[in-house]
Structure 1
Amino acid sequence: MKMSFLKATVLAVALFGASVASEAATLVANIDVSSQTMTVRYGDSVYRWAVSTARPGYFTPRGTYRPQRTARMWYSRKYEMSPMPYSVFFHGGYAIHGTGAVRQLGRPASHGCVRLHTTNAAAFYSMVREVGFGNTRIVVTN
């Protein structure tokens, strides 16, 4: 009887702790195409970074997404093997990723992906990997 009570107590503590951890781990990235910014809410922290979304003739998809996959270093098969460090893919081939074209940040310049300074992309990539795809939401608005 004592063993059953002990097991139940340990299980309850484990379940309670897990639910608290998953609630605290929510990560939301809001990409505002009109202001060319990405605001990340991660626990009590808020980050706001300049981005580059699609330039004229291209499109960054709008909507709410969850990450589909990540890649520490990816090379675009569509655009001449362009490097895409710290990629977080959210809609097919569209990703949030680092760029070397930092002077373009803050204005539309991409083929549709969301470009960030590589330092910020690395931070976001780490956050996504830490909390998991299910606890991450990516929202792209006009």
Structure 2
Amino acid sequence: MRLLLIALAVLCLTVVMPQKGMANTIVAKVDVSEQTMRVYRNGKQIHKWRVSTARKGKWTPRGAWSAKWLSRHHKSSLYNDAPMPHAIFFRGNYAIHGTNQISRLGRPASAGCIRLHPSHAATLFAMTRKVGLKNMKVVVQN
């Protein structure tokens, strides 16, 4: 009887408590043709935001990556110290970040990065910090 109670207690704890292998995941899925980003937490869409990707003559890479590093108050070393607040770098110099050119969101305007409204960038940045870089995926498609 004692073993049965212990087994039942262990079963209850495994159902109630989250498992290590079931960490929260965030996916930022960017559709270049729509100029939108859909954000998913654990497979469920929680946000849909307008973005700006590469303007004519520039390129936003397509593919899937894990977030590599974060920079809260980043300034571009390539483009005259342009502000890149709440930057989430996913491939080399490419990042998702806030922009002060809010009126251009929803159409191509960047040099290749994925631009967001500053409040959306801050939200995504905080979510990424919470789940960890390895649990934040960036997917960019046409």
TM-score range relative to shorter protein? 0.7 to 0.9
2:140 match: 140
* Alpha-carbon distance in 1 for matches of 2:45, 2:34: 21
1:60 match: 60
2:28 match: 29
Offset from partner CA, 1:36-82 (integer Å, 9 cap, x none): 00000124451000000000010000000000100011000000000
TM-score (normalizing by structure 2)? 0.85
| Identical columns (%) | 45
* Alpha-carbon distance in 2 for matches of 1:31, 1:45: 13
* Gaps in structure 2 of 5+ consecutive residues: 1-8
Equivalent residue pairs, number: 131
TM-score (normalizing by structure 1)? 0.85
> What is the CA distance between 1:17 and its match in structure 2?
3.8
Offset from partner CA, 1:75-106 (integer Å, 9 cap, x none): 00000000000000000000000000000000
Tell whether the 8 Å contact from 2:28 to 2:37 is kept in structure 1 after alignment.
yes
Alignment of 1:37-56 (within 5 A): 37-43=36-42, 44=44, 46-56=46-56
1:4 match: none
Tell whether the 8 Å contact from 2:27 to 2:41 is kept in structure 1 after alignment.
yes
* Cα-Cα RMSD: 2.1
1:6 match: none
